[in-house]
Amino acid sequence: MKELSVNHLIGIKYIQKSDIDLIFETADHFKEVINRPIKKVPSLRDITIANVFFENSTRTKLSFELAQKRLSADVISFSAAQSSVKKGETLIDTVNNILSMKVDMVVMRHANPGAAHFLSQNVKASIINAGDGAHEHPTQALLDSYTIRESLGDVAGKKVVIVGDILHSRVALSNIFTYQKLGAQVTVCGPKSLIPKHIESLNVKVETNFIGSVIINNQIQDGCNKKLVGFKLTEKSIPRKGYKIFT
């Protein structure tokens, strides 16, 4: 039976291509499961998972909880706003208190970059990073790459442009690592003020203009090409969070 090379999912930076391939193969199987009339399987039966969110979340938190329950895990949810964190309890103390209830895994979102890595070094449970500051959001990047794989057949050899606020986006960094591990060429595009310094060291291209044909939803938009060539991006011209265009 294949196994991941890591015990934690802290960031895409720390996993191998073989791990991504195994996750995608497993997702292929469970995609068939969720299309059944009964969408529940016993894969995580007798496993207790704590969703520990120090930031507000809707889609990520609900997605994790729904997946966990469909895999038959026992789920407990933690909200910092209604906890002893408000009284000064530290991150490690908070999580250790939760782990004392015989929790096997922690899914955590935290405002501070590196919080998930720090936690993985100080507690015994497996840690899944659901977003740490502007650092990484590995599960979102895996989903993005899986979607490209389903739509275009393979990520390898594709040219991916990540457009928007790259500086403050934790998803952007995870996407860069994922696409590169899967063999894609990555370009980031946005105003210079929203592009991290030295990002070229990650072997990505940097653009501030849209140049060339644009493919959206697998269809070439002929009219878009003329409109976008030479279009200058400013902070006002893009949404706060990044979005992706495939070329």
Active site positions, annotated: 59-60, 87, 109, 137
How far are the Cα atoms of 23, 49, 76, 168 from residue 105, in angstroms, in the given order?
17, 5, 11, 28
C-alpha–C-alpha distance, residues 2 and 223, integer Å: 47
C-alpha–C-alpha distance, residues 113 and 174, integer Å: 13
Helices 138-152 and 170-181 sit at what angle, rounded to 10 degrees?
50
Question: 200 in helix, strand or coil?
Answer: helix
Q: How many helices (H) and strands (E) does the chain have?
A: 7, 12
Phi-psi region of 139 (alpha: psi -120 to 50; beta: other; left: phi over 0): alpha
C-alpha–C-alpha distance, residues 217 and 219, integer Å: 6
How far are the Cα atoms of 159, 163, 206, 236 from residue 209, in angstroms, in the given order?
16, 10, 9, 14
The answer to whether 155 and 182 are in contact (CB under 8 A) is yes
